[in-house]
Amino acid sequence: MKNIVVLGGGYAGVMCAVRLALRTRKLDVSITLVNPSERFTERLRMHQVAAGHELADFRIPELLGERVTFVRGWATAIDTARREVTVDIGDGSRTLPYDKLVYALGSYTDTSVVPGADDHAHTLNGSRPARSMALHLASLAENGGTVAVCGGGLTGIEAATEIAENHPSLQVSLISTEQPGWMMGEKARAYLYSAFDRLGVTVHTGARITKVLPGGVEVAGGRLIPADVSLWTAGVKAHALAAESGIKVDRKGLILVDPALRSLSHPEIYAIGDAAAARQAWGAIHGTCQSGIPSGAHAADSIARELRGRAVKPFRFGYFHQPLSLGRNDALIQFTRHDDTPGRFFLKGKAAVLYKEWVSSTPPKAYVKTHRYPAPVSLSRGGRATREPFMEL
């Protein structure tokens, strides 16, 4: 029997496990997925939780199906020589042997880059911190107050607009070094700013944050932007387990992989999602659900091929869209080229709301469908731009 262990029950990890179960159903394998919680965290929706909305309760063991064993715990060590993973299961530890290991631990918001962010800012690193912020906002909204969202990327924009819509008594500021929506086309960005105006979100552009304080956010030049509650969404950090285990990583802590997503230093280990320093001919893939789920499916297919003695294929991926919710009643979808630069077309308003909800609700349904057949998991493979791998296998 071959033992396959998947570390991480996020979008990429769950897809990899369920597709492995399907692809290896006629082989003698044992598949185990390790995650600290039984509840599946819809990271695409954490801004909704922070604003005070409740989400559906998806349980990872139910999504995985009968052929995958779920272990609730934290992976604390990887012994690459013995091919074993040590898992903290709360009342002790457990050792899991592996022949193939899939590293899908992802990343989390980095609050270490600016003094005070770790102590005074909330994050969206899972359901628990998002719910903690929701409680603070609900209390603050009773008498009015100020909220600062630090970071003008897609997460920051979604959080700022969601909070402003759900708590109109709060004054919401979005603080960003770059112009929010810089990754979009000019017309889409104009629509985004009209949504900011409609919802009363104050945008501070070109503001380099130097410190987060209990009562506000300090930017370069000493100016203080008042905030009773601060949310940090600027930048992410990789989990340290790979580097601590002697697996070769880049300067950000992402596992260096070959075109098939195998570790360069330990080819029996696959890295997927935003734990992998994956590249295409057009450049580096940045971690999103859009790229994470296809990478999980690709790793599953590759492991199944290896177990059958067949050669693996390079991972091919191209971006297709940038879905962005602007509260519950508005949204913006920027369609992109394969390298994630903006294309000519975008959706807005109600049509975009329906599109965004389809995107956000698809993963749990796809996992269950994968119990029976290998459903398509990628809207784009990048066309001709990815037919040649960045590195030779």
CB 164, CB 327: distance < 8 Å: yes
Backbone angles phi, psi at 237, to 5 degrees: -135, 140
CB 163, CB 244: distance < 8 Å: no
Helix (H) or strand (E) holding 135: helix 127-141
Question: Residue 386's pLDDT is what?
Answer: 75
CB 326, CB 195: distance < 8 Å: yes
Question: Residue 393's pLDDT is what?
Answer: 47
**Which one-letter DSSP state was computed for residue 210?**
E
CB 249, CB 239: distance < 8 Å: no
Question: Residue 246's pLDDT is what?
Answer: 98
What would you report as the CA-atom Rg of the chain, rounded to the nearest whole angstrom?
A: 21
Question: Residue 203's pLDDT is what?
Answer: 98
d(CA 134, CA 227): 15
What 185-190 contacts at long range (C-beta under 8 Å, 24+ apart), as own/partner pairs, is: 185/334, 185/342, 185/343, 185/344, 185/346, 187/346, 188/332, 188/334, 188/342, 188/346, 188/348
All structural domains of the chain, each given as residue ranges with its CATH number in brackets, are: 2-36+73-106+239-318+378-386 (3.50.50.60), 113-232 (3.50.50.60)
d(CA 5, CA 102): 6
Q: Quick one: which of 155, 163, 90 has its CA closest to 124?
A: 155
Question: Residue 264's pLDDT is what?
Answer: 98
Q: Is 119 buried (19+), middle (13-18) or exposed (0-12) by CB count in 10 A?
A: exposed
In tens, the pLDDT along 175-213 reads: 999 999 999 999 999 999 999 999 999 999 999 999 999
Q: At what angle do helices 154-166 and 186-199 cross, to 10 degrees?
A: 30
Joined tokens for residue 268: 């029996």
d(CA 98, CA 268): 9
d(CA 162, CA 316): 34
Query: How crowded is residue 237: how many other Cβ atoms within 10 Å of its Cβ?
Result: 14
Q: Quick one: which of 302, 92, 76 has its CA closest to 84?
A: 76
Distances from the Cα of 382 to the Cα of 11, 61, 120, 174, angstroms = 21, 33, 41, 33
* Torsion sign (Cα): 366, 372, 373, 374: positive
Q: Which residues contact 170 (CB under 8 A, 6 or more apart)?
A: 137, 140, 141, 144, 145, 146, 147, 163, 164
Which amino acid, one-letter code, is at 98?
A: Y
Joined tokens for residue 244: 């601590």
In tens, the pLDDT along 122-169 reads: 999 999 999 999 999 999 999 999 999 999 999 999 999 999 999 999
Question: Residue 174's pLDDT is what?
Answer: 98
Question: Residue 335's pLDDT is what?
Answer: 98
pLDDT string in tens for the chain (393-residue length): 999 999 999 999 999 999 999 999 999 999 999 999 999 999 999 999 999 999 999 999 999 999 999 999 999 999 999 999 999 999 999 999 999 999 999 999 999 999 999 999 999 999 999 999 999 999 999 999 999 999 999 999 999 999 999 999 999 999 999 999 999 999 999 999 999 999 999 999 999 999 999 999 999 999 999 999 999 999 899 999 999 999 999 999 999 999 999 999 999 999 999 999 999 988 999 888 999 999 999 999 999 999 999 999 999 999 999 999 999 999 999 999 999 999 999 999 999 999 999 999 999 999 999 999 988 888 888 877 777 666 554
